[in-house]
Structure 1
Amino acid sequence: MAPVQFHRLQIAEVVTETDQAHSLVFALPDGLRDAFAYRPGQFLTLRVPVDGVPLQRCYSLSSTPEVDNALRVTIKRVQSGRVSNWICDHLGAGDTVEVMPPAGVFTPPALHGDFLLLAGGSGITPVLSIAKAALRHGRGAVTLVYANRDERSIIFREALAELARNHPGRLRVIHWLDSVQGPPTQRQIEELVRPWSMAQCFVCGPGPFMDGAQAALQALGVPRGQLHVERFVSLPDVPAAKAPASGAASAGDTATASPAPAMRGAALTVQLDGEIHHVGVALDETVLDALQRAGVAAPNSCRAGLCGACMCQVTQGDVTLGENHVLDRADLEAGWTLACQARPSSAEIHLKFPD
C-alpha cells in the first residue's frame, strides 16, 4: 500500500451556496484521477495554513462520481471555527490547497433498492452525493428528510428542487425548519420516517440531530446493517503533521523512521496487505503513530476518530480507544478499533487491517 499523502490541487471555482456555506470545486490533473477516484458519501482531508499553522479538516464531497465532472466539497462556517472561516474568507479560484485522496466508510454497499436519507445542516453534503448516485444508478425510491435552522440555511435548495422535478415518483424531499416546527424530537422523527424505515438509512449532521435520528431509527427496528451514520463534530486546533505534499520533495527524498520513544510500551504485531509487521508502541502513543514511525503505510485520513479509514481488528491483547464517532457497540465487541485513537493497554497486541 502506497503511503497516504497530500497533493496540491487548484481551486477552479468557489460557489456561494448560502450566506454561511461555500463549495470548492477542484481542477484535477489527469495524473491524479486514479488517486482521487471516490465513492458517494466519502470526504477529502484539506490542510491549510491558518495564521502560519498547518491545520487539517475533513470535508464531505458533495459531488457524485459518474454524475459530476469535478470534485467538489462544501464547507459551512462553524462559529469560532478557525479552519472553516479561514477557507471561506481566504480561498478563491486559482488558489491551491493541500488535499488528501478520498476516504471514509459512509458509503452505500449497493445502489439498488430504496434509500431513506436524513440530514441536518451541512450533513446534506455526503447525503446529496449518495442521493444523486442512487437516482442515477438505482431504480428504488429515495426519501430525504432535511432539517435546518431556517429557510435561508438550506444548502442546495435549488439543486434539490431540480432533482425532485427530474425524478418525479422516485425522489421525495421533506424539509424541516426549526424556526417553524422547532428542533425535531425523536418521537417526531419516528412518525415522520416510519413509512420508509425498511430502506437503507443514512444519517448525517450535528450531534443533537444525530442522536434523535439514530434513536428514532433504532426504535423503529432498522437492522444494524441498514443503518449508516456519520457525525459532524468540531475538532480542536491541533497542528497537522507535516507530511510532504506531492511535488514538494525531490524524487530522491526518502522518509526515515524516527526512533521509538524511550519509555515502556507494548509489542505490536500487525497484519496489513498480506504482510506481518512487528512494531514497538509506547504507552502514550497511538497505534497509527507507531506504525508510521516504523515506516508502515497504514490507511488513515482524519486522525480524529471520525472517518473509519484506519479501522482494524484486535485479535489478541487490549487497546484503549480515545475519540470514536464511527464504531458502535457491536463493532467494539467484535474487536474493531481505530488505529488513530487506539493506545496499548496490554504488553502484547495483535491486530489486522481489512483486506
Structure 2
Amino acid sequence: MFSKKNMPCELTVSRVVQETQDAVSIWFDVPEHQWATFSYTPGQFLTLRIPGSGEREPAARCYSLSSSPHTEDELAVTVKRTAGGYGSNWLCDNITTGTIVSVLPPSGHFTPQDLNSDMVLLAAGSGITPIISIIKSALLEGDGHLVLFYANQDAESVIFGEDLRYMAKQFPERLTLIEWLESERGLPDRETLSELCSAYKNRMYFVCGPAAFMDLVGDVAHHVGIQHGNLHREIFQSLRSDPFDIEIGVKQSMTTEQARLVVYLDGDRAELQWPKDLTLVEVLLNEGFSPPYSCREGGCGACVCKVMDGDIQMRVNDVLDEDDIEEGDRLACQSLPITDTVMVTFG
C-alpha cells in the first residue's frame, strides 16, 4: 500500500512550452481537491511515470519543479533531452496538452528554510530548474540579495534566459546575474568560482547541475571556508525500481530481532518496534505513517532524516557525502538499525 501522502495521482497537462531546442516545460493542472496533496516549497521535485514502449518497461523519473508556489497556480517541471535518456526523450517527443500523467506528490529537501536569506545560487544547464523556482519565490516573498551564477554550453542552450534577465532588471538591487557560456570561455574554472565564493562566505549556497560542476563547486566552497551546512546540492539518479508499484508499500519482516525506534515526524512523536531487516521507510509505512520518500533506492534524497541517538547503516547511498553522514543525515529508505535504540527526526 501507499501512504496517502505518497499516493500516485493522475494530472492533466495544461500546456507544453518549448524553452530551447532540447528542453520543454510541462505544465500540469491540479484539481482543487488535490491542492493540498500537491502543495510544495521551491526547489522540490515531482516523480513522473513514463509509459513503456514495446519491450521497454514503464519507468519513473524525477524532475525539478520550475514553477513557484508563490507566483503560479499550476505546477511545471522542465525537462531537457539527454542522449540515451529514455524518460527525457519520451517526454520531449510525446507530451502534449491533454496528456494524462501519473505523478507522485512533490518531494525533496533542496529548499531554503528562509526566503529572506541572502543566497548564492549556482546552476549549469538544466540545473537551473529548481534554482529558478527558488529565485522567483525569494524575490516575491523574501527581501534578501541573490547572486546567480549560470553556466551553459552556448547561447542557444540557455533555459529561462529571458526570464532571468527580466527579473534581474526588475530587481537590480536584489538579483545579480552572472552568465557563463562554455562556447566563449570554456568550462567554469576554479579561479572564477573561488572569487565568487570568497566574496560571499556567509551566505546560503544552492548548487544544481552535472556532477562534475557540483563537485568543483563543492571543492571550491570547502577550500574557501563555506560552512558545510550552508551548501545545498541537488542530485538525481536514474531510478532502477518503480515507486509507482503499489505492491512495495508493505514488506514483512523475516527476523525476530528488533530495535526500539523513537521517531519525530510531522510534529508528532512515536515509539515503534523496528525489525532489523526492514528499512526505516518500510517500518513507518507498515505502521500507517507517511514518511517522505520517492525512489526508495537511495538515489534522490527525498527521505533524508537525521539520527539523534543510536546508529544506522545504509544499504545504498548515492546522495549523501561524508560530511552529511557525520552530521547524522541518513536515507530512510536505505536505513537499517545497528543499535538497539534509535532516535530519528524528519524535516
Equivalent residue, structure 2, for 1:270 = 261
Partners of 1:339 and 1:302 in 2: CA distance: 11
Equivalent residue, structure 2, for 1:11 = 13
Q: Is the 8 A contact 1:265 1:347 kept in 2?
A: no
Q: 1:114 aligns with which of 118, 125, 131?
A: 118
Partners of 1:31 and 1:311 in 2: CA distance: 28
Equivalent residue, structure 2, for 1:125 = 129
- Pick closer, same or farther for the CA change 1:190–1:9 going to 2, 3 Å: same
Partners of 1:38 and 1:205 in 2: CA distance: 21
Partners of 2:250 and 2:147 in 1: CA distance: 49
Equivalent residue, structure 1, for 2:206 = 202
Partners of 1:37 and 1:46 in 2: CA distance: 16
Q: Report the Cα offset of residue 116 of structure 1.
A: 1.1
Q: Report the Cα offset of residue 193 of structure 1.
A: 4.2
Q: 1:322 aligns with which of 316, 319, 341?
A: 316
Q: Report the Cα offset of residue 240 of structure 1.
A: 3.9
Equivalent residue, structure 2, for 1:81 = 85
Equivalent residue, structure 2, for 1:43 = 45
Equivalent residue, structure 2, for 1:252 = none
1:209 partner SS: helix
Q: Is the 8 A contact 1:59 1:75 kept in 2?
A: yes
1:177 paired to 2:168: no
Q: Is the 8 A contact 1:42 1:107 kept in 2?
A: yes
Partners of 1:13 and 1:342 in 2: CA distance: 40
Partners of 1:56 and 1:35 in 2: CA distance: 19
Equivalent residue, structure 2, for 1:312 = 305
Structural mapping, 1:269-348, within 5 Å:
269-272=260-263, 273-282=268-277, 286-292=279-285, 296-314=289-307, 315-325=309-319, 327-343=320-336, 346=338, 348=340
Q: Quick check: 165-174 or 100-109, which moved more?
A: 165-174
- Pick closer, same or farther for the CA change 1:241–1:172 going to 2, 3 Å: same
- Pick closer, same or farther for the CA change 1:126–1:317 going to 2, 3 Å: closer
Partners of 2:200 and 2:99 in 1: CA distance: 43
- Pick closer, same or farther for the CA change 1:316–1:183 going to 2, 3 Å: same
Partners of 1:265 and 1:75 in 2: CA distance: 46
Q: Is the 8 A contact 2:121 2:207 kept in 1?
A: yes
1:62 partner SS: coil
Q: Report the Cα offset of residue 317 of structure 1.
A: 4.3
Q: Deviations over 1:102-151 (max 9, x none)?
A: 11111111122422110011110111111111111222321110011111
Q: Report the Cα offset of residue 295 of structure 1.
A: 5.0
Cα RMSD for the two superposed structures = 2.5
Equivalent residue, structure 1, for 2:171 = 167
TM-score, normalization by structure 2:
0.88
Which one-letter code corresponds to 1:25 in the other structure?
A: W
Q: Is the 8 A contact 2:243 2:295 kept in 1?
A: no
Q: 1:226 aligns with which of 227, 230, 249?
A: 230
Q: Is the 8 A contact 2:182 2:188 kept in 1?
A: yes
Sequence identity (%): 38
2:148 partner SS: strand
Q: Report the Cα offset of residue 166 of structure 1.
A: 1.4
Partners of 1:256 and 1:322 in 2: CA distance: 19
Partners of 1:138 and 1:241 in 2: CA distance: 36
Q: Report the Cα offset of residue 97 of structure 1.
A: 0.8
Q: Report the Cα offset of residue 53 of structure 1.
A: 2.3
Which segments of 5 or more consecutive residues in structure 2 lack a partner in the other structure?
A: none
